[in-house]
Amino acid sequence: MNYRHSFHAGNSADVVKHSLLIALVRALQLKQGALTLIDTHAGCGLYDLGGDEAQRTGEAMQGVRRAFTDPNPLLDDYRAAVQAVNVDSEPHLYPGSPQILAQLLRPQDLLILNEKHPQDAYALRGVMRNTRAAVHERDAYELWLAMLPTRTPRGVVVVDPPYEQPDERARITATLAAAHRKWAHGVTVIWFPLKDQATHSRWVTQLRNLGIPKLLRVEHWLYDSEQPGIYNGAGLFIVNPPYAFTQALPPLLEALRAALAPQGHKGEIISGWLDH
């Protein structure tokens, strides 16, 4: 699957991912202790929704623009994060995860970004120039392990690969197993696309076999039945999510489902522990 993010910025997957990422970090920040936030596949950091690549797919129309017209106040934090990089009420620019994480930083928190693609890494450094982020240009899976355990007592690793390589899921599974051995109490967020149920079910079984005790699965299916050969949605695996986050999750997921359901479909967002 080719997922160069400039083609897909602001789509429904971004709305769900970034809404949940904001809620997760905010829940962790209910405690004053410092956090290290690590983004292993950071991308460019900022995307032009009016650019040729975004316009070619038009996916933002079914994502961020739907979220901006939805009245549900549970989406206010997400909308505010997008609004922060725009000068008027209409979203023309879209913040990637690095920008959103930078907005959430407290003085005691650290932000580490990584992007292996040289062109994207160059753009990312420019976008993040006036922030406190450290930017690396390394293999994502090598950096993931190298940064653990984090310098601060608590941390979050965000893993958001393009899934262009056939062994991407296998590398994630192997690296997550090694990371958990080094950093069993840490929080890890893994984004994934949903293209077909069979491939996804096999990966869920592999992750379940790792035996990680607190591994939450969130899946956003756009359509009422699987659509063969196309993008069906996306989701997150979250290791060690805080209690405040999981308690607030059901109404937020319902708000996202309602805002993003394609015409003629209700869609579905499900969540649950992988060991259940």
What are the start-end ranges of the H helices in 29-117? Answer: 52-57, 64-69, 76-83, 97-104
Give the closest residue to 195 by CA, choosing from 173, 164, 228.
Answer: 228
Residue written as token pair 């997550």? 176
Number of H-type helices and E-type strands within the chain: 10, 10
Q: Cis bond leading into 95, ω under 30°?
A: no
Known catalytic residues? 160
Closest among 33, 92, 62, 4 to 264, alpha carbons compared? 62
The whole-angstrom separation of Cα 73 and Cα 205 is 36
H-run or E-run covering 146: helix 140-146
Report d(CA 1, CA 17) in Å as an integer.
18
Cα 97 to Cα 90: distance, rounded to the nearest angstrom: 20
**In whole angstroms, what is the distance from residue 190 CA to residue 181 CA?**
17
CA distance 98 to 94: 11
